[in-house]
Structure 1
Amino acid sequence: MTKPISLALAHRRAVAFIVLIGSVSLFADMTYEGARAITGPFLGSLGASALVVGFVAGFGELAGYVLRIVSGRLADRTGRYWGGVFLGYTVNLFSVPLLALAPGVTTAAALMIAERTGRAIRSPLRDAMLSHAASRTGQGWGFGLHEALDQTGATIGPLLVAFILWRHDGYRTGFTLLLIPACVAMALVLAAARAYPRPRDLAPLSRPVLETGFPWSFWLYCLAGGLVGAGYADFALVAYHFGEARIIAPAWIPVFYAIAMLSAGAAALGLGRLFDRFGIVVVLGASLAAALATPLVFLGGSGAALAGVVLWGIGMGAQDSVLKAALGSFVAPERRATGYGTYDMLRGVAWFLGSLLLGFLYDRSIVAVVAASLALQILAAPVLLLVMRRHAAAPVGD
């Protein structure tokens, strides 16, 4: 009787950890996703050109992904996760309310890039810790629950900022108010570190791994994730198109973004359950379905745009839940943070290059944007099929 009780306790502790980290992400996303809804217009109000706005957004994302491999490797080498997590969240979150004090474009741009840098430091460490806990609950369900909580915050944040702007209180008031969820998130980080000082202990014991590299399946999976990322139109471009084509009123664009975040969270829970039952084929199906968002948002009217935004959100939910859940099966626990950091870096570089391509094509032909986006995402399908064939029956991992 002792063993089942022990396993049940381990399962409850793992679920509690996922909920706690998910709550951190909820308030963190309220902070920085709320800010991202207005950073472009805020830079414009300070006198920045469209080129400067694009550079700050693109460079911040690129730096935010490239640095993840560094923080992931350092965490795996030292075995210390919480120091990097605390540093990353501190920089990530408190850069946002400091924007309220930014006197000009240069300071504001530096704070926006710092926010992405902080996210880079903590993201692979958090994902590695989640993968250890999710090995008790099912990787798909664990990452899906976390993503649902994450996207709840990403929905509330932009709506909160939209309400502030509706009251004509201004951008700086919005940034200042976002200090509240930032402080709550940091308090929850401290509580999680105190309650779970060694997140690796949440996972079942695994056999020692002697090899030092990643299997070919891991690199193929990174290629598939990169193709999906490269073909995925950033919401900044989608929102720009909505404004240029006058498909929806500018005041409704943050609401459409909130709808996308809501659909992402809902999809993450459902897809996570399906992943635990059917495996990587769920990743393939979700990726192909989400590819349909591009023709809907760029070629249709307001009704099609709404449907496209929902599909866009489902795709984002899939990328941040089941795509990451599947990654854990390719990487041993001892190198989990390095694996997530490597994947994020490669996918981030592909996303940046793809965004440049789609932005370049947009000025020439919207049809070309749709064609390139669909081609890149559809190309990921045969790569994922190859991964499914090559993936061993007994994968490396927990």
Structure 2
Amino acid sequence: MSRPIGAASWPVAMLSALRALPRTVWLLGCVSLLNDAASDLVYPLLPLYLATLPGAGAQALGLIEGCAEAVASLLKLASGVLADRHGSARPWVIGGYGLAALTRPLIALASGWPMVLALRVGDRIGKGLRSSPRDALLARSVAPAQRGLAFGVHRAMDNAGAVAGPLLAAALLGLGVPLRELFLWTALPGALTLWLIWRVPETPVIAAPASTAPAPAAGAPLPPALRRYLAIYALFSLGNASNLFLLWRAHELGLADAALPLLWALVSAVAMLGSAPLSGLSDRIGRRQLIAGGWTLFALVYALLGWPGLPPAGLWPLAALMGLHLAATEGTAKALVTDLAPAADLGRAFGWYHLISGLCLLPASWLTGTLWAAHGAPLACAWAGGCALLAATLLAFTKH
């Protein structure tokens, strides 16, 4: 068992651990930073953009995001399985980032919400092609004791891009750039992403096996402990609707349009700063309690978000708490998948993880949007928080 790290020596130990991470982790992190700078320039502006299109509202927003993620998740399983079968993840990663870079700027041409739906689906198809192979590539590049930190660093750089994108969007809005033209700016980081992704090497299996069980035959069931974790994760995901509902609530409460990207930037900034330390902490104290705590924090955020008396100023601390939830759970959840899956089957394991997340996002976003439109924010937020709190309780008390 690792010895506790004192407060004085912790920064030195963290710096040493970061330096020990392989080049693949940093390259994939830079790719995610650029890609998310483009994606999150668009993401916080979608509620505003949809409000200018005929027939769009909270329900259309839920349908767009739910369908986009559901389609992506189906491809995440297929790409993960095929990458495992052919022993090569890199082509899927290149193709996925390339498709997203090509489709994202075309949102500027949309004349109605169905076209936005089609383009968001195209963007998410790219995500579906790349996500599971990329996560398997990352997991196989590090030793077991580095998993939490490696995924935390990747999430931190991903969230750094998610800070840069909204800040650029806010700056351009402040300069009076028309909303449609902002989507065209995503072409620049998209091109840089394509240039960088070609420099990511194929990573051989150098880590120790993720479990002591023998590698399963093709099509064999996933390990029971992984299946239990994925079932609990599905329950959480049924309440984890699109994060755009946070921005939708901000719009309802009268927050200025130019402040919406800044609100989302705050979420991403807290997640960026906290991802590496918290995910790295899971390498030492265990992953389940940290994830359960993050899900409990999510439930608290949504309970307060649905409070009828919430003032607009209250959105800022809630955004910071949402970022803390993401920091505690995103990288740690992927590290737990790696812990529970056979090393040769990581693509399929991550495929199921992403599939569950995306397929549950469709009913979660649709139901949240429907409840929101029919009964208002309190009931919709109570549903989201209730699912998270139940999932946190089950995870905290479920044995491996």
Alignment of 1:1-398 (within 5 A): 14-50=21-57, 51-102=59-110, 106-135=114-143, 138-192=146-200, 196-197=201-202, 199-204=203-208, 209-210=215-216, 212-246=220-254, 248-280=255-287, 281-299=289-307, 300-362=310-372, 363-387=374-398, 389=399, 391=400
Which residue is equivalent to 1:8?
A: none
Q: Aligned partners of 2:70 and 2:116: how far apart in 1?
A: 18
Q: Does the 8 Å CA contact 1:233/1:294 hold for their aligned counterparts?
A: no
Q: Aligned partners of 1:77 and 1:315: how far apart in 2?
A: 35
**Structure 1, 163-172 or 81-90: larger mean CA deviation:** 163-172
Structure 1, residues 200-243: CA drift from partner, whole Å, max 9, x if none? 33424787524532111111111222222222343222222222
Q: What amino acid does structure 2 have at the position aligned with 1:94?
A: L
Which residue is equivalent to 2:5?
A: none
Q: Aligned partners of 1:145 and 1:342: how far apart in 2?
A: 23
Instruction: Compute the TM-score of the two structures, normalised by the length of structure 1.
Output: 0.87
Distance 1:171 1:365, change over 3 A: closer
Which residue is equivalent to 2:11?
A: none
Distance 1:325 1:240, change over 3 A: same
Structure 1, residues 303-326: CA drift from partner, whole Å, max 9, x if none? 432121111122223342111111
Q: Aligned partners of 1:52 and 1:385: how far apart in 2?
A: 35
SS in 1 for 2:215: coil
Q: Aligned partners of 2:324 and 2:113: how far apart in 1?
A: 34
Q: Does the 8 Å CA contact 2:159/2:268 hold for their aligned counterparts?
A: yes
Q: Aligned partners of 1:253 and 1:374: how far apart in 2?
A: 23
Which residue is equivalent to 1:3?
A: none
Structure 1, residues 115-154: CA drift from partner, whole Å, max 9, x if none? 0111111011111111112326511111101110000001
Q: What amino acid does structure 2 have at the position aligned with 1:170?
A: P
Compute the displacement of 1:381 (Å).
2.4
Q: Does the 8 Å CA contact 2:164/2:265 hold for their aligned counterparts?
A: yes
Q: Aligned partners of 2:303 and 2:317: how far apart in 1?
A: 11
Q: Does the 8 Å CA contact 2:290/2:328 hold for their aligned counterparts?
A: no
Q: Aligned partners of 1:296 and 1:80: how far apart in 2?
A: 45
Q: Gapped runs of 5+ residues in structure 1? A: 1-10, 392-398
Compute the displacement of 1:245 (Å).
2.8
Distance 1:67 1:301, change over 3 A: same
Q: Aligned partners of 1:317 and 1:68: how far apart in 2?
A: 22
Q: Aligned partners of 1:100 and 1:314: how far apart in 2?
A: 32
Compute the displacement of 1:104 (Å).
5.8
SS in 1 for 2:306: helix
Compute the displacement of 1:352 (Å).
2.3
Q: Does the 8 Å CA contact 1:293/1:311 hold for their aligned counterparts?
A: yes
Q: Does the 8 Å CA contact 1:96/1:175 hold for their aligned counterparts?
A: yes
How large is the Cα RMSD of the aligned pairs? 2.3
Q: Gapped runs of 5+ residues in structure 2? A: 1-17
Distance 1:228 1:245, change over 3 A: same
Q: Does the 8 Å CA contact 1:296/1:307 hold for their aligned counterparts?
A: no
Determine what percentage of the aligned residue pairs are the same residue: 26
**Structure 1, 129-138 or 212-221: larger mean CA deviation:** 129-138
SS in 2 for 1:200: coil
Instruction: Compute the TM-score of the two structures, normalised by the length of structure 2.
Output: 0.86
Compute the displacement of 1:105 (Å).
5.2
Structure 1, residues 248-268: CA drift from partner, whole Å, max 9, x if none? 223211111110011111221
Q: Does the 8 Å CA contact 1:275/1:283 hold for their aligned counterparts?
A: no
Q: Does the 8 Å CA contact 1:234/1:355 hold for their aligned counterparts?
A: yes
Compute the displacement of 1:156 (Å).
0.5
User: Between Structure 1 and Structure 2, which shows a larger proportion of helix residues?
Assistant: 1
**Structure 1, 343-352 or 149-158: larger mean CA deviation:** 343-352
Compute the displacement of 1:343 (Å).
1.1
